[in-house]
Structure 1
């Protein structure tokens, strides 16, 4: 694809905006937001603005746990795409890249375009672009070259996925941007798969870090999809769920304020008598294991008589030789 002429690009955008295409096209709807809502001019030559150093430090601190959770996934994604003219960006909720991975050979190009840490790529500032539009529409998307609102961004191809925190709220966007003029749609689709996979890994790692003492279970598949995670405490009560799990299982932040038995939520729910019997059986087996099966020692450890313990063992069908 040749160089995009500023006037031609602006005319094309304006024609689309005043047509009825915005009702049918998410891209044209974004162009319309950029022009009508944010009052941007597609021919504006000014590069993206940058946060001050203090503002950037504050922005990093706000999502510091997510940054830590993302490191290995960012490295892995960069290994997959860095050698073909792409950089990897983790942007915060405001569209500011906080972490970046890129090849030194491409750094000058990306820096000149403002694809760098501390720059502002929300839709309000930059119009239609991968990071900003992904954050507005909260979906995986590709903004390829002349789909960008600003003519100065039409050399870029951006593939972006949203990232949600441990409470299911949108917190960041993961972006792979390419400076290659020969990026094909097929290759962009492959990159999109890798970006989505990395975003889900970052969410999972962040979720595990948010519930360090909980067991993390995979939510069962439903007609709304799968891949969600649920955090369960020592009492088998659900204490957290990822966005995918919330959507699949109908969990809300309000419902999590009340104890939810994991068995009720994840299937295989049993009545209270069965649950109590299983808990008692497990407790007795642990005590007997610690006393090498000696019933007298186990009864003493439990503070009950040997006869009482024998009755419990018989009722629960637990037989010991001692």
Structure 2
């Protein structure tokens, strides 16, 4: 059975929905919405710049950007003023419930249920009233590896093509990952953040390492890669031991070189900022760069 067919089956048998059912989108109360937004805390503020940047790209063609909590309730949105009335009717607004239980197969709900990026294009939606929209959503995981929400782009354009959906999907995945990184850094402000590349945009792993070289935090991808368990605190362990597999391939110097290059790339070759990211002094970083034969024109 395909994943889409499995979602349709859940919608019909588990959630008891009917494709032809006509009703207005479910919405939570104002007090419930306020409570949910408060529980997300700084996550909303950290996500806001990413929503703005994503909307700058997809907003002109008439798309809406939505951020939901882990239960599929819209927490924030970005949309054009001219589309506001239409989008509100569709349910692209704070407080609307886009869980699979409420709406059947859809971008937000199916993404949260399956904990993966999904593209639900027009008539792939379960409810007939949603078949005029295309939804592209990616999950967002918190610093403890637990699901905290979803980021999505939705459009009611009749000419929204699968090719355009694929391009938007890449942007949504990257933005969701950036939000995860921001949230992870905020959770471990006194730790050095080690970023390990993955095979795709959703697989990058993050480790928080303290001044004693102990791993004190790990993202969902890192927890899965190193069998650290999902949810809760990470049992402290030596980063050097945990990363021994990477060192065996690259050598210790190679692993250090990769970490330095990643920090420089992230900061646009700003050595001072790269040193801050790596939790070392500027002079120390310069010495390591000289030893590793890494040069930069920026100071």
Normalising by the smaller structure, the TM-score range is: 0.7 to 0.9
> Counterpart in 1 of 2:296?
none
Deviations 1:67-124 (A, max 9, x none): 1221111111111101111000010011001010111111111111111110111011
> Counterpart in 2 of 1:28?
5
Q: 2:228·2:234 contact (CA, 8 Å) conserved in 1?
A: no
Is 2:145 the counterpart of 1:168?
Answer: yes
Task: Work out the CA distance in 2 between the residues paired with 1:94 and 1:238.
Answer: 30
SS at match of 1:115: coil
Q: CA RMSD in A?
A: 2.3
> Counterpart in 2 of 1:196?
173
Q: 2:54 aligns with which of 63, 70, 77?
A: 77
SS at match of 2:95: coil
Q: 1:117 aligns with which of 81, 94, 98?
A: 94
In the alignment, structure 2 segments of 5+ residues that lack a partner are 252-282, 284-299
> Counterpart in 2 of 1:40?
17
Q: Using the TM superposition, give the Cα deviation of residue 179 of structure 1 relative to its aligned residue in structure 2, in angstroms.
A: 1.2
Is 2:30 the counterpart of 1:53?
Answer: yes
> Counterpart in 2 of 1:147?
124
Structure showing greater radius of gyration is: 1
> Counterpart in 1 of 2:74?
97
Q: 2:152·2:172 contact (CA, 8 Å) conserved in 1?
A: yes
**TM-score, with structure 1 as normaliser:** 0.73
Q: 1:222·1:248 contact (CA, 8 Å) conserved in 2?
A: no
Q: 1:248 aligns with which of 225, 236, 241?
A: 225
Q: 1:219·1:226 contact (CA, 8 Å) conserved in 2?
A: no
Quickly say closer, same or farther: Cα 1:240–1:257, change in 2 above 3 A.
Answer: closer
> Counterpart in 2 of 1:134?
111
Task: Work out the CA distance in 1 between the residues paired with 2:180 and 2:145.
Answer: 10
Quickly say closer, same or farther: Cα 1:257–1:130, change in 2 above 3 A.
Answer: closer
Quickly say closer, same or farther: Cα 1:142–1:152, change in 2 above 3 A.
Answer: same
In the alignment of these two chains, the number of paired residues is: 248
Q: Using the TM superposition, give the Cα deviation of residue 256 of structure 1 relative to its aligned residue in structure 2, in angstroms.
A: 5.5
Q: Using the TM superposition, give the Cα deviation of residue 146 of structure 1 relative to its aligned residue in structure 2, in angstroms.
A: 0.7
Task: Work out the CA distance in 2 between the residues paired with 1:67 and 1:109.
Answer: 25
Task: Work out the CA distance in 1 between the residues paired with 2:180 and 2:55.
Answer: 17
> Counterpart in 1 of 2:243?
266
